[in-house]
Amino acid sequence: MLKGKLLENEPLAKYTSWRVGGPAEQMYLPEDRDDLICFMRSLSDQQAVYWIGLGSNLLVRDGGVKGVVINTRNRLKAMDLADVDKIYVEAGVPCAHVARFSVDLGLHGAEFLAGIPGTLGGALKMNAGAFGGETWNIVEAVEMVNQKGEVFKRSPSEFEVSYRSVKGHDDEWFLAAELKLNKHCEEGGLDKIKELLERRSLTQPTNKPTCGSVFKNPEGDHAARLIEQSGLKGHCIGGACVSQKHANFIENMGDAKASDIEQLIAYIQLQVMHQQGISLETEVCRVGEPK
């Protein structure tokens, strides 16, 4: 028997960091990992399934999402010491919590996760990174679940991992990961996290509704530099504006629609190509239907 909560026609704007997006046809809030697996087993093969954690790096279109959205935020939240130098973390745990948890255990190598504004599940999906660190550099193994509720343990060698990209097993979703860290006498782990967060606050609009970085950095360059050089800082379409603080961020000024953001993304790509001769590839994931 399912223990979680199934919501109908649930507005997604309140679950995304951009604060935009139409409703989910259905949203499931699992009680825990086992309940989620049971719910997956109840779905038909034809049911469209989407997952959401903290809702960063995600643009939900104004028409909403047909199918079921599984909300893992604060639900798949277990963290445990798996070995002397390994931790087990479920997909719904915010990355910042993983960074603090590892340091508290005297383990190092995950501090960079403090700069990623999402859950571990989202970080695994896109190989999220910050301050020179990347998620899959510390992954020892992952747990996956498919739409039949079958669970698999997989190694990094079963995926094609690159900059902001993870390919393989597209019919499965991340349940948890085992992270291999460094156990040695290194002082100042909490100070390092504090320093990273201060740097992030100084350089990024962390107090504004954004999705995080919108575009991937082209090889040997930075998307923010290209956008700024194209004179686009502060450029707005509707309620969406290129951040004055960091040009690779788009801010919701309070009344933006998903369509405003999507049009601004396209305009930035057009202008950067026209002025700089470089094609910017989006980092943000887009789901749903236009209104």
- Residue 34 exposed, middle or buried by CB count within 10 Å (0-12, 13-18, 19+): exposed
Active site residue 230: no
> Of the residues 25, 140, 154, 164, which is catalytic?
164
Kindly report the three-state secondary structure assignment for every residue of the chain: CCCCEEEEEEECHHHCCCCCCCEEEEEEECCCHHHHHHHHHHCCCCCCEEEECCCCCEEECCCCEEEEEEECCCCCCCEEEEECCEEEEECCCEHHHHHHHHHHCCEECCHHHHHCCCEHHHHHHHCCEECCEEHHHHEEEEEEEECCCCEEEECHHHCEEECCEEECCCCEEEEEEEEECEECCCCCHHHHHHHHHHHHHHHCCCCCCCCCCCECCCCCCCHHHHHHHCCCCCCEECCEEECCCCCCCEEECCCCCHHHHHHHHHHHHHHHHHHHCCCCCECCEEECCCC
Active site residue 286: no
Active site residue 41: no
- Distance, in Å, from the CA atom of 82 to the CA atom of 85, rounded to the nearest integer, reads 8
> Of the residues 213, 243, 251, 262, which is catalytic?
213
> Of the residues 143, 178, 251, 283, which is catalytic?
283
Q: Which residues are catalytic?
A: 164, 213, 283
